[in-house]
Every structure is written in C-alpha cells, then in structure tokens.
C-alpha cells in the first residue's frame, strides 16, 4: 500500500494522523479510499472531478504530471502540496 502524507490542514479529518497507508493503483483511487475512511476529504483535495488547481501531487519526490490518473505502487510515498509553480510561474491564484 502506498504511504500518503496528509496535508497539515486536513489532519483534523484524520484524527491527527499525518501518514496513512492507502490501497490503490492510481492517485484517484488513493483519494477514493481516503474518502471512504475520512468522509469529506475528497472535497478538500478535488474540485469536481479533478484535483484542485492549486494542489500538486508529489510521488517519491517528483511531481506527478498525470494528476488523478498517475499510477502508484506499494513502495510510493505520496504528498499533496501547494502547486508551487516551480519557477517563475504566474503566482498561482485561487478561484474565489
């Protein structure tokens, strides 16, 4: 099972747990599994059927480019972090 790091602001939903073992073949399935265990967490990570635009998925230290479809395996460590535009980026703005 992949090891998912729960963002600090969502740990209220996981009883303070910061790392959770989750089963799933893709990032989307990991979120589905989290939602089963911690109802409401999906809405915090996703906007409709996609990841919130200001959230990036980092798998083993490398940013995923395939969003919810990104495959994961049992040895992966998965982080949901602010989508730092790696560089110069348009300062990423939130939808209001």
Build a one-symbol-per-residue string for 28-67: x at contacts with another protein by CB under 8 A, - elsewhere.
Answer: ---------------xxxxx----xxxx--x-xxxxxx--
Q: Does 82 participate in binding another protein (rule CB under 8 A)?
A: yes
How do beta strands 55-59 and 77-82 pair? antiparallel
How do beta strands 46-47 and 19-22 pair? unpaired
Q: Does 75 participate in binding another protein (rule CB under 8 A)?
A: no
Cα of 57 vs its chain's centroid, Å: 5
Contact present, 44 and 59 (Cβ < 8 Å): no
Interface residues with another protein (CB under 8 A) are: 5, 7-11, 18, 43-47, 52-55, 58, 60-65, 77, 79, 81-96
């Amino acid at each position: 099972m992949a090891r998912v790091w729960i963002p600090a602001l969502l740990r209220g939903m996981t009883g303070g747990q910061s790392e959770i073992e989750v089963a799933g073949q893709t990032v989307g399935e990991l979120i589905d599994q989290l939602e089963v265990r911690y109802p409401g967490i999906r809405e915090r990570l996703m906007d409709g059927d996609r990841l919130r635009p200001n959230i990036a998925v980092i798998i083993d230290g490398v940013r995923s480019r395939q969003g919810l479809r990104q495959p994961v395996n049992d040895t992966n460590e998965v982080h949901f972090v602010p989508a730092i535009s790696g560089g110069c980026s348009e300062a990423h703005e939130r939808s209001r």
